[in-house]
Structure 1
Amino acid sequence: MSANNSSCTPILTSCLTGIYGAVLIGGLVGVISILFLLVKMNTRSVTTTAVVNLVVVHSVFLLTVPFRLTYLIKQKWTFGLPFCKFVSAMLHIHMYLTFLFYLVILVIRYLIFFKRKDKVEFYRKLHAVAASAGLWLLVIVIMVPLIASQYGSLDVYDTDNCFNFHKELAWAYVRVINYLIVAVVIAIALILLVFQIFIIMSMVRKLRHSLLSHQEFWAQLKNLFFIGVIMVCFLPYQLFRIYYLYTVALSSDCNSDIAYYNEIFLSVTAISCFDLLLFVLGGSHWFKQKIIDLWNYLFCH
């Protein structure tokens, strides 16, 4: 049956505008910064390939942010409903693809740690290109038809108001899919956190004061950046999503407060674009020296 939720337009405030504005600026700076670093990285490395794809994901998403900002400022969508669906879906696609590439990077580094390998890499550069091309082809083949045919297609929406596709959640199978996605993401995030804590504690017990002289420690420290982004940017949205899905399912009318908070949590996922800046910072000599100084201060005084 069709959803009976009334039209719901979250309150548009400077908060959302500020978040997306910061994401656009920080994301662009991060993309530009990481390009200089990628030139020096091993192009056959699986980690490097994942980072390159991460740059592509962020770049494509950042292209849609100005349209969001325009809508937030003008409070009217003027680019047509099909493009609204694309921009709306892109925020979700960005979140889950970013999470996927984080997962790849972290799993590779965990394999390196547990199997005592120096690195995991493709046999040839062409294989890295083929793997990336295959992944993006899969995304295009699956996601584009889904967005075009299914996303925002279960009800009638106002063309002047964008990003209000909550009516889809009135359908039981849509909620089930969302619940499954939430459960999988939360479970994987917690598993990654447990693994990372175990690895860090193992290294601390084994190496102790010589910890900072080992390259593997710095690699694992970078992992904490990715774990931190997942916990700060992605996990709050997924946890709130459970409540949001439950509330929307029970309510016949729109709850503007719930819709607004959902938009806030969703916008926070876009802050993950700052990860490239953190990645660059984590590889800098200045950052390492600050960590060493802090370590010496804590354990040598």
Structure 2
Amino acid sequence: MQVQSVDLINKTTLPNASNTDVGHCNAHCRMVLITLYGMVLLGGITGTAWMSCLMFKRNNQSMIATIVLNIMVLHTILLFSLPFRLSYYVLNVWEFGPFSCRLVSSIIYFHMYFTFVFYVAIVILRLLLYFKKLQMQKLQKCHVVVFSIIIWTVGGLIFLPFFFLQYGIDPSYLEQAQCFEFHKDLNQGKFIILNYSIIVIMITTVMTLFLIQMGVIVQLIKALWPDMWAHQEYRAQIKSFFFLLVIVVCFIPHHAFRVHFIQNYSEIENSELVLYNEIFVALTTVCCLDMLCFIGGVIH
């Protein structure tokens, strides 16, 4: 009779345990994230440091260089946060307190959306120059500096209140030694609307710019073939295409999966989606390798 009762307890408790544990990153998930974040940390530090030295030596004060400098600052902020993430996935416990968890978690989104804005700014700027809607002679470095200050100020005014008043403040988060699992917030309608709005804006912007950019490149190929690589205009548009490609590879998969995640996430039945979501979030950090691509000659 005692054996039967033990078996009954095991049958009733083990399924529930698997359902709750699957929401946390398992060993395989941690190994993927450790590898991905480790690669980004090493490659990002190398690329950002090397590009900084090159820009300092050349003393390039162009508009594009100023925007690239903003991107490098964003990469640096993210790279400082990655050791904390690696520590968590190696030790499988968060030892830095709930506020630090919220901060490190939010930095990855802060980096993604600010980087997206500066990537798009480079693409739009080069398109405007190509279509003669903007003249290089009329633009000065101060204009881009002012633009950068506006982006950081507006972004800060949006990000800081959201971080302190809304992000990850559910009391249940304070009761666990886990981190980066703020998916319970998606049960709130305002966060669902916010996520859908961001997804629509990002995908629409990328698709529109991608089509325009491809049209420009095709026109340049027709006009300059076969010596298009000898022309600065063609190389500039290819660089813009590279930034769009980074967005498509690193940012769009996360947002496309986000739609599926919001629609199908259930804390009990589909909590394995949390694991996939963490991997897609980690994929957004791969954009930190963009400077290595420039240095390595992929976009020369």
TM-score (norm 2): 0.85
**Counterparts of 2:133 and 2:150, CA distance in 1:** 29
Match of 1:143 among 159, 164, 167: 159
d(CA) in 1 for partners of 2:136 and 2:53? 21
Aligned residues: 277
The aligned residue for residue 18 of structure 1 is 35
1:254 Cα offset (Å): 5.9
The equivalent position to 2:227 in structure 1, one of 185, 206, 210, is 210
Counterpart amino acid of residue 263 in structure 1: E
Equivalent position of 1:280 in the other structure: 295
Map Cα deviations across residues 18-43 of structure 1 (whole Å, 9 max, x no partner).
00000100110111111123232532
Pairing 1:1-301 to 2, within 5 Å after superposition: 8-11=23-26, 12-39=29-56, 40=58, 42-43=60-61, 45-115=62-132, 119=136, 122-123=139-140, 125-157=141-173, 158-248=175-265, 251-253=266-268, 255-282=270-297
Whole-Å Cα distance in 2 between the matches of residues 213 and 69 of structure 1? 44
User: Alpha-carbon deviation of 1:133?
Assistant: 3.3
Name the SS for the 1:13 alignment partner: helix
Change (3 A) 1:117 1:127: closer
Bigger CA radius of gyration: 2
SS in 2 for 1:209: coil
Structure 1 residue 116, shift from structure 2 partner: 7.6
Secondary structure of 1:256 counterpart:
coil
Deviation at 1:117, TM superposition (A): 6.2
**Aligned residue number for residue 293 of structure 1:** none
Q: Is the 8 A contact 1:241 1:262 kept in 2?
A: yes
Cα pair distance change 1:88/1:66, threshold 3 Å: same
SS in 1 for 2:153: helix
State the 1:122 CA deviation: 4.4
- CA displacement at 1:46 relative to structure 2: 2.4
CA RMSD, Structure 1 to Structure 2 (Å): 2.2
> Which residue of 2 is the match for residue 298 of structure 1?
none
Q: Is the 8 A contact 1:77 1:160 kept in 2?
A: yes
Question: How many angstroms does 1:6 deviate by?
Answer: 6.9
State the identity %: 35
Q: Structure 1 residues 225, 18: closer, same or farther in 2, change over 3 A?
A: same
Moved more, 6-15 or 52-61: 6-15
Change beyond 3 A, Cα 1:128–1:190: closer
* Rounded Cα–Cα distance in structure 1 between residues aligned with 2:275 and 2:36: 14
Gaps in structure 1 of 5+ consecutive residues: 289-301
The CA deviation at 1:281 is 3.4
Q: Distance in 2 between matches of 1:54 and 1:252?
A: 36
Regions of 4+ moved over 6 Å: none
Q: Normalising by structure 1, report the TM-score.
A: 0.85
Q: What residue ranges of structure 2 are gaps of 5+ in the alignment?
A: 1-18
Deviation at 1:130, TM superposition (A): 4.1
Listed one character per residue, the Cα deviations across residues 225-255 of structure 1 (whole Å, up to 9, x for unaligned) are 212111111111111111001112xx25263
Q: Distance in 2 between matches of 1:128 and 1:196?
A: 22
CA distance, structure 2, for counterparts of residue 184 and residue 130 of structure 1: 24
